[in-house]
């Protein structure tokens, strides 16, 4: 994806690269789910995100780690334990998408009913 610079117009260059990650089917759901729980483990995520497959979850987790959005902490125990949390950047992302959520709720003439506390402010 090639993005241009224009001083008098909006450019999307900052999104270059990150859109491929953020736009993926489970990316934001994953970020949100972890954010809602502070910390989550692999099998928890597998259950909470109904429908995601192990392989897909694993690859998304890696990708989001690489983008410094989530943090992986492994404990040397038996059985093994791994906790996923949002990084500072990940928490900021969660905030940054709120306008987009608000936009999405206004569809045509009707408004999608949603109980999200953050959308009511």
Partner DNA sequence: CAGCATCCTGTGCGATACTG
Partner DNA sequence: CAGTATCGCACAGGATGCTG
By the criterion CB under 8 A, which residues form the site for a second copy?
1-3, 5-15, 18-20, 22-26, 28-29, 32, 35-36, 50-51, 68, 89, 92-108, 112, 114-119
How many CB atoms within 10 Å of residue 35?
17
How many CB atoms within 10 Å of residue 89?
14
Instruction: Decide: is 31 part of the binding site for DNA (CB under 7 A).
Output: no
For residue 15, CA distances in Å to 20, 62, 96, 100, 101 come to 9, 19, 13, 14, 18
What does 116 interact with, of DNA, a second copy, none (CB < 5 to 8 A by kind)? a second copy
Whether residue 35 contacts residue 91, with contact meaning beta carbons closer than 8 Å, is answered with: yes
Which of 32, 35, 44, 85 is the binder for DNA (CB under 7 A)?
44
Q: Which residues bind DNA (CB under 7 A)?
A: 20, 24-26, 41-44, 51-56, 58-62, 72, 79-82
């Amino acid at each position: 994806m090639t993005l241009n610079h224009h001083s008098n117009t909006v450019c999307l260059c900052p999104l270059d690269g990150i859109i491929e990650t953020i736009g993926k089917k489970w990316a934001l759901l994953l970020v949100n789910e972890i954010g809602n729980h502070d910390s989550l483990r692999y099998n928890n995520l597998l259950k909470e995100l109904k429908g995601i497959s192990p392989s897909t979850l694993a690859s998304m987790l890696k990708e989001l780690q690489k983008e410094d959005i989530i943090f992986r902490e492994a404990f040397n125990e038996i059985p093994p334990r791994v906790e996923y949390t949002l990084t500072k950047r990940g928490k900021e992302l969660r905030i940054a998408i709120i306008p987009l959520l608000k936009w999405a709720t206004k569809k045509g003439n009707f408004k999608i009913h949603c109980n999200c506390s953050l959308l009511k402010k």
